[in-house]
Amino acid sequence: MVDAFTDAPFRGNPAGVCLLDQAADAAWMQHVAAEMKHSETAFVRPLAEGEEDYELRWFTPLVEVALCGHATLASAHALFTSGAVPADRPIRFRTLRSGVLTVTRAADGGLRMDFPATPPAEAAAPDGLAEALGAPLRWVGRTAQNDVVAELADEETVRELRPDIAALGRIDARGVVPTARATPGREHDFVSRFFGARVLEGDGEDPVTGSAHCALAPFWAERLGRDALTGYQASARGGYVRTELRGDRVVLSGRAVTVLDGTLRV
């Protein structure tokens, strides 16, 4: 179990990472993810053929997902810290729905992930969105991952949201991503939260969502006029995601901490 997008335990976003030595059945992986109860559990299997090093799949307690940033960061952290991969070489992950993802380790120990950019396209606000969030909307868009991005008035509004999760779950979307420009003087450039009532258990809020920053990076780069930005996801645990837009790709950077290491006995 790894806390991602943080340099301290019990912060950032926790992910399960299951290091496999052979292929596993998807139904079994779904059972393991449901048992772990994290927002995502990643399954990593070494590949003997092709240019990629490992196969990578992500499961919430309920479904398999197409892309997960924090569990990718956690997986790379587990491989680097276990010695499975030397610190000076990149890891190339083969994924089913998001192509090849490359992760490198920086000299300071931080991890850099090369992901596809998924800029949101402006769209009509889904019925009931403003009411479910409890805040007026400045702009609404939808991403290729079927996330709804909603720009709100300011950072404080995003931080203080107490949304109606059941109502958000009735919106046709993987998740709803409220976001706003940071308050002047902060060490970050924008804030966000992620509510995924259809794919997450519990209160439906994901602590730090790497895949959402594949959309937030191009969204805020256009508005702020800079390709390199720092986002803060203002959940109860909180976490920083550094983003760098490179054409149709986004480099997401962060740190991770292992909190539990053991053997799965089923």
Q: How many domains does the chain have?
A: 2
* Catalytic sites, residue numbers: 40
**98 shares its domain with 128:** no
The residue range of the domain holding 61 is 2-109
Q: Which amino acid is at 213?
A: H
Total Cβ atoms within 10 A of residue 241: 30
For residue 130, count CB atoms less than 10 angstroms from its CB and return exposed for 0-12, middle for 13-18, buried for 19 or more: middle
**99 shares its domain with 138:** no
**77 shares its domain with 186:** no
**18 shares its domain with 94:** yes
CATH number at 68 reads: 3.10.310.10
**19 shares its domain with 132:** no
Average pLDDT for 138-143: 98
Residue 173 lies in a domain: yes
Residue 165 lies in a domain: yes
- Mean pLDDT score of the chain: 95
Question: Among 46, 39, 48, which residue's Cα sits nearest to residue 16?
Answer: 39
Paired strand residues for 251: 114, 244
pLDDT for 152-203, tens place per residue?
A: 999 999 999 999 999 999 999 999 999 999 999 999 999 999 999 877 767 8
**81 shares its domain with 139:** no
Answer with the one of 109, 129, 149 that is the final residue of a domain: 109
For residue 20, count CB atoms less than 10 angstroms from its CB and return exposed for 0-12, middle for 13-18, buried for 19 or more: middle
Residue 223 lies in a domain: yes
> Is residue 108 predicted with pLDDT exceeding 90?
no
Residue 115 lies in a domain: no
Q: Which amino acid is at 187?
A: E
The answer to whether the Cα torsion of 256, 257, 260, 262 is positive or negative is positive
pLDDT for 146-163, tens place per residue?
A: 999 999 999 999 999 999
